[in-house]
Structure 1
Amino acid sequence: MNARLLLGRSLPGAVGESSRVVHLFEVLLDDGAPEQLTALCGSSFGRGELERLDRLQGMPCEPCLRRAPGQEPTSVVVERGRPIPIANSSMDLEPLLLAPTRLYIVTLLSERQWCTCGFIITALDIASPNLSRQLAKLRKAGIVQTRTRGRELQACLTREGSRRLVNHLKALQAVVSRAGRLAAIGAGQRDEV
């Protein structure tokens, strides 16, 4: 059974811009053009509801990334007549860091020893209550630690947080690279039809 991964997101205006995440779809090559496409996360889309992407643009759907094909390849794509297994690139994705705000916070903290919350708020243009919620989640997961100096709350990345950030970024880069290659293969197959 030959399959390929496709990238797509809701058309502009169909949903709010923050909900236009990029979904992964595993499509059987022998199926033709299906009436409905179901993303790896379970979201279904009918004809005319999706913008097909040739590369990752925007925020990926977290559940789709988590459900990307496993280590034991369950599907393949065909490139120049040769089957290529779709491997799992998402094993080391850190679910907590898939949220853009938390990823931005952790990335900012990776550049400094200790950082005041006032600086983070200004640098990332986020509201104080939002920062407090995000830091609480990151602290609970052991990714950041906080301390109070005078009246200022400061945060820094833990060693564990730094390790998890590096692993997350490598896994995310692998997903993006693989998705780009698969999309290119899919575009080539589409041109041959």
Structure 2
Amino acid sequence: MATTTKKEMKKNEQPASQKKATVKAKADAAKDLQELFEDGLKDILWAEKELVKALPKMEKNATSKKLKDAITGHLEETKQHVERLQEVFKSIGVNAETEKCDAMQGLIEEGESIMEETAPGAVRDAGIIAASQKIEHYEIASYGTLAAFAKVLKHEEALKLLLTTLKEEKACDESLTSLADTNLNSKADKN
């Protein structure tokens, strides 16, 4: 009877990075790019609608007037994003529906947690900016991907609408970066 030493056993084991993990697709899984595109639209529509609900709470908890104004402005823009997404659905001949976006739910929950874990003032404002930028980066990635899909699928009107929103999301992120680079983060450092 052959015995195997611990050293030999370790040698025969595959590293976790080399193990193949096969995920079984759901019965209603997207089977082509069009379905994946529609699923992505449902996801970001849900995300934008939830953001419309979350932004007023962020604005209420911010103390900097510049931050409050930025959040208020983005709330109005986000409402337009919801309307624009409905136009995207219409342009591709599909009813506008939502599907829960786990990523956005997590980002919103993280933002709420940051507000709960920071005292009102500059530190909370810095946390709100950080949470907001994470949300913007998710939206930028989502709209960029959806625009790429629309281009491949030759949905010209949808592409135009998605690129408009992508441009606005990037501008919002730049605005938040500028706000953070001003004296807000410096004030937070002195608390």
Asked whether the two chains share a fold, i.e. TM above 0.5, the reply is: no
| Greater relative CO, 1 or 2 (CA 8 Å, sep 6+) | 2
Larger strand share, 1 or 2: 1
TM-score, normalised to structure 1, is 0.30
TM-score, normalised to structure 2, is 0.31
Larger helix share, 1 or 2: 2
